[in-house]
Structure 1
């Protein structure tokens, strides 16, 4: 799954000379949390709702609301924008986007093409939706968990059990546990869970958890 298929294409952008007041209005009216800043067709910065809140009114300000509004109407985005922007290309995978967001502790990435032109935005919400789709959660499947030891042929042995029982695996994912073992999660249309549990246990892969995920 690639960024291009999950991003919001053609996002609204602003220039570095846009006023803070105008940028705030764009964010408020469109319920955005970030705006890419573009000059001559290329990405030069980004401004977030947090950046705007930092220069907005607070109980501690010594300025009147009229004085503050006047200043915000004069201040430009270039005065507060972040110039070091974490971006990603359309051809990158959703996993790469997720790692970038995780490592930089940010909620979204600007998507650019080879010419550094802004072509989209991908956010943590898009990543979450991708996870839901990848795992087939909307379809409402039976989810089983196996605690296994990683080895060559593991997937083959487990999938053979499903094949013998004529069960189609919708999705399969695994991750390492603190004790070094592997937790494998499988989603499928399973009619007789008890029969599958017996078959897997006979192969040395007992089921540790079963639940039916409803959409």
Structure 2
């Protein structure tokens, strides 16, 4: 799965000379929290709702509403935007975008090709992809197993699943937090069809289950 598969292609952009009130109004009307700043078709910055709110007047200000409106109307996006923009390419894996957001603690990335903004990908897009990767919208039964970190371990597991005529809807692997040497890893699967109760019982008897209460629930 790539960034282009999950990004929003309808990007709301602003010019550096856009005023503070115009940018804030645009965010509210379009339901977005960040605006790429573009000049001559090229990305030059990004402004977020938080950036703008930092410049909002304090309730304790002694200025009149007319004075405030005048001052804010003169404030340009170029004065509050971030110029060092973290971006991602449309053909990069979506997990790379997720890692960038996590490392830089940001909620969205402009998607850029040759300096031109072609999309936006946000934390919501990442969450949706995560939900789909785990197969949550496909139903089935969730099974968690512990596998030895060796060649053929996952293949052997899928063979047991096949023996019970079950279909693998999704599979995700991750380290076992309690085993720092990485000799085992967890596999989280969603399976459907076949004899699911029989499969879970068999996996439990073969020592696959990661939890004391078994691999999963017999009901989907």
**Is there any run of 5+ residues in structure 2 with no aligned partner, and where?**
none
Alignment of 1:31-42 (within 5 A): 31-42=31-42
Equivalent-residue separation in structure 2 for 1:141 and 1:207 (angstroms)? 19
**Is there any run of 5+ residues in structure 1 with no aligned partner, and where?**
none
1:169 touches 1:188 (CA, 8 Å); kept in 2?
yes
Q: What SS does the corresponding residue of 1:187 show, helix, strand or coil?
A: strand
Equivalent-residue separation in structure 1 for 2:16 and 2:5 (angstroms)? 29
Equivalent-residue separation in structure 2 for 1:194 and 1:10 (angstroms)? 46
TM-score by length of 1: 0.92
The alpha-carbon deviation at position 212 of structure 1 amounts to: 7.8
CA RMSD of aligned residues (A): 1.8
The CA deviation string for residues 141-190 of structure 1, in whole angstroms up to 9 with x for no partner, is 20011133322211011011011222111111111122224221110104
In the alignment, which residue of structure 1 is the partner of 2:124?
125
Q: What SS does the corresponding residue of 2:88 show, helix, strand or coil?
A: strand
Q: Does 1:210 align with 2:216?
A: yes
In the alignment, which residue of structure 1 is the partner of 2:63?
63
Equivalent-residue separation in structure 1 for 2:48 and 2:125 (angstroms)? 18
TM-score by length of 2: 0.90
Alpha-carbon spacing, 1:93–1:53, altered in 2? closer, same or farther (3 Å): same
Count of paired positions: 213
2:171 touches 2:187 (CA, 8 Å); kept in 1?
yes
Structure 1's consecutive aligned runs of 4 or more residues displaced over 6 angstroms after TM superposition are none
Q: Does 1:182 align with 2:185?
A: yes
The alpha-carbon deviation at position 57 of structure 1 amounts to: 2.3
